[in-house]
Each structure stands twice: as C-alpha cells, then as structure tokens.
Amino acid sequence: MNIYKMLEEAIISNDIEIKDRVTAECLEYCNQNEVSLENDFVPKVFVKPSYANRCNIVNPRELPSRKDFETKEGLATLVHAIIHIEYSAIDLALDAVYHFVDMPMEYKIDWLVVAKDEIRHFKMLYEILEELGYEYGDFPVHCGLFDASMNTANSVLERMAVVPRYYEASGLDVNPQIIKKLENRHKYPMVKKLIDALGVIYKEEIEHVQKGDRWFKYLCKRDGLDEDIYFDILKEYEIMHKHRPHLNVEARKEAGFSCSEIKKLGAKECI
C-alpha cells in the first residue's frame, strides 16, 4: 500500500468523504505496518488549494465583516470562516505526513489522527452551516494557511513552528473570545450548537498544538538547535510582531509553551 499516492489524492480532492476515507485507511495501515517508500517518490508542491474550485479566494482585507451575529447570514459568515479553517487544517495535517517522509512513524500517526479530528470538526460545523441555509463555498475565503503550508514545504522544523505552534496556537487565543461574544445569544438553538462545537474544537486543538510542540522540540534536539529558533522562524515569516490582544496563557502552557516564550509573544504575566 502506497500511502503517499493516497495522501496526494486526498490533499488535491475537495470531497470531504474522500479525505475521510483516505485518512482512515492510512491511519489503520500505519498502525499495523511499516511504511515503504518508492525510490523515485518526490512530493509535489501544490500550486493551488483543494478548495480553489469550490470557494472564491480573496485577499483577507476583502472578507465580509463577522460582527453581526443577529441574523442567519451574519452567523453563517462566522461559521463559514471557522469551517474554512477546519477544512484547511485537514489538508495541512495530511500534507505534514505527505511532505516529510523521513519523519518517524509516530509522527505520521500523530498527524493522521489530527486530520481525522479536523474532518470531524468540519462535519460538525457543516451541519450547522446547512441548518442555517448555506454551504461551504457560499462566502469568500483567503488562502493564508495553504500559503503557509507551501512556504514551509521544504522544512519540517519550519512547518511545526509556523503551522501548529503559530497558527493553531493563535486559534487557542481566538476561540474563547468567539464563544464569549456568542454567549448572550446562547438560548438560540443554532448559537448553542455552535458554542458546543467550538468547545469540542478548543479542547482538541490544544492536543494538536501539543503534537506540534512535541515534534518541534524533537527536531530541535535531533539537530542540536536551541528552541529559541522558534522566534527566528516567526521573524523570517514576518509573523513575530502580529498583534495578539488576547493571548491565552493557560491554554498555551497546556500545549507546551514555556512562560518565557509566552512573554516573548506579548503576555504581561505568566506563572
């Protein structure tokens, strides 16, 4: 079984059921077998995200405002924005296996498990979006996470630093703030359902960041690098000084960040 050909099929497909099937089959195989690699295998650098034929991709500044949650459309724009992150995270997790073939089997299993989680998150949110009368692709999206994956395609260290330890960790900061904004409308069934879904996602995203933290530190130890190289990588990608108004200190600590790192990212206190 060539899991890399299967992963390639899943990454380029915009069919969530194909992604689900391939992820499950690859995870089952990796839990029971060693993964063999054809000598001439070279991972592809994808030129467009799998959702390109499904969504209208725009500059982030052109995205619709998500401040109005009082209407179905307003709430749907929020759900759509989150579902797009979850969809992108599926491909990111699969690509973390596909592009870095020399990493240990435990690494492969970790990111296939993450992909499985992200697929479940997507389906959970898609159900809410459909109940609101919309589908994935009805609102414009940006491709920032896809760009991050392709920009880090040649370095697993940079991938672990930029994707789970930066972008997914930033989600830990944002998620509770979204729930807080929704709380005053929690009596509405769709809002309550969204709050419950975000609670599930939040807990599992901590585990995803933990995995990224673990493999980042593994790579630093393997290659004799100081873990502070994390900040050098953030500076290289020009994301070190992005504004972080609500740094979630406790969640980041649980995910593996040290207080020293958290303070460098902008927190005033960390105990």
What are the tens digits of pLDDT across the range 198-247?
999 999 999 999 999 999 999 999 999 999 999 999 999 999 988 777 89
Nearest by Cα to 138 from 83, 86, 80: 80
| Fold topology of 3-35+71-264 | Ferritin (1.20.1260)
| Cα 100 from Cα 156, distance rounded (Å) | 7
Q: Where are the domains of the chain?
A: 3-35+71-264
Whether the Cβ atoms of residue 94 and residue 12 lie closer than 8 Å to each other: no
Alpha carbon distances (Å) from 171 to 1, 2, 51, 71, 111: 35, 33, 21, 24, 18
Say what the pLDDT of residue 40 is.
72
Residue with tokens 């807080």: 180
Cα maximum dimension of the chain? 58
Q: Residue 16 CB: number of other CB atoms within 10 A?
A: 16
Using a cut of 0.85, tell me whether the model's pTM lies above it.
Answer: yes
Say what the pLDDT of residue 39 is.
62
Alpha carbon distances (Å) from 26 to 5, 133, 174: 11, 34, 32
Contacts of 63 (CB under 8 A, 6+ apart): 81, 140, 141, 142
* Strongest mean pLDDT among 18-32, 176-190, 243-257: 18-32
